[in-house]
Structures are given as C-alpha cells and as structure tokens.
Amino acid sequence: MELGIRNRTALVCAASSGIGRAIARSLVSEGVRVAICSRNEKNLRTTQEALEAESGSKIVSVVADLSVKSDINRLVETVQAQLGSIEILVNNVGGPAPGGLMELSEEQWHEGLELSLMSVVRLTKAVFEAIATIRPHCCSFILGKTALV
C-alpha cells in the first residue's frame, strides 16, 4: 500500500515485538526512515537486525524506558541526531500489570498509569517541541489493555 510517506522519519515505541514491530516493518516497507525503541535491549537488537536484513535500510534502535523522563529526552535527541526531525510518532505502550482491581496493588496501578499515560504525554511533548516548525507531522497512540476488573 502506498501511503505517500516515503523518506519521512518515524519513531515507533515498544517496537521490539508485537504490534510495534509490525508497525515498524510496515513503515520500513513504505520507505520511511525508522527508529525503534524498547526497554528490552536483546529483543530490540533482534528486531533491528531483522528489519535491516529484510529491507536493506538502516534502522536506528534506542534502548529506553519511557517512564523515565531522561530516557525520553535521550531518545528524541538520538533519533534527531541520526535521522533528522521526527515526522511520525507511534506511541505504542503497554498498560498496567495483568490482574483485577483488587488483585493489583496501588503501586502497580501507579506504575501502569505512569507508563500508559504520562510516558505518552512526555514523549509527545518532547517530540512536538522538537518539530514545532515542521509540517506535516502526525502522531498515533496505541495503549495496551491488560487489566481486568
């Protein structure tokens, strides 16, 4: 499918497996310059190598925990330094730990909210501040649903 996004720069979060990896693969096939990030260094490197082998394109990978503000800043700076301005942001994040309302501790709920809400807010703000003068750009949000009530 031709989306008209060839030669754009994209950052795909949580891209070491699952939907994030599939989105990164699709973007690469569209001719997009892609950066991927994940907390899991081993899976991230495996994904980077697989995407590079499939496409012949250079994939930038950055190990980052999106619940850590300094990791977000480092991620945005690294991607911009290596690929230029981020024009496409795919905020793909998980949710709270699996479990019901009464099964999870308050700390687990806070961690889930920090990851699924505040990390998205912080990353989106960091990217939008960096690309404020760039048009067009887009952002998508994919939030995991793992807790059952």
pLDDT at 16: 94
Say whether pLDDT at 147 is over 50: no
pTM confidence score: 0.85
Where in the chain are the domains? 9-143
Say whether pLDDT at 98 is over 60: yes
pLDDT at 93: 82
Tokens 């945005």 belong to 76
Superfamily name and number for 9-143: NAD(P)-binding Rossmann-like Domain (3.40.50.720)
116 contact partners, CB below 8 Å, separation of at least 6? 93, 94, 95, 96, 143, 144
Q: At 64, is the secondary structure helix, strand, or coil?
A: coil
Q: Kindly indicate the confidence band of residue 148, based on its pLDDT and cuts at 50, 70 and 90.
A: very low
**For residue 91, what are its two tokens?**
């905020």
Q: What is the pLDDT of residues 40-92, one digit of tens each?
A: 999 999 999 999 999 999 999 999 999 899 999 999 999 999 999 999 999 98
Three-state SS for the chain is CCCCCCCCEEEECCCCCHHHHHHHHHHHHCCCEEEEEECCHHHHHHHHHHHHHHHCCCCEEEECCCCCHHHHHHHHHHHHHHHCCCCEEEEEECCCCCECCCCCCHHHHHHHHHHHHHHHHHHHHHHHHHCCCCCCCEEEEEECCCECC
Q: Which of 12-21, 101-110, 136-145 has the highest mean pLDDT?
A: 12-21
What is the rounded average pLDDT for all residues in the chain? 87
pLDDT at 1: 63
Say whether pLDDT at 97 is over 80: no
pLDDT at 72: 96
More reliable by pLDDT, 129 or 12: 12
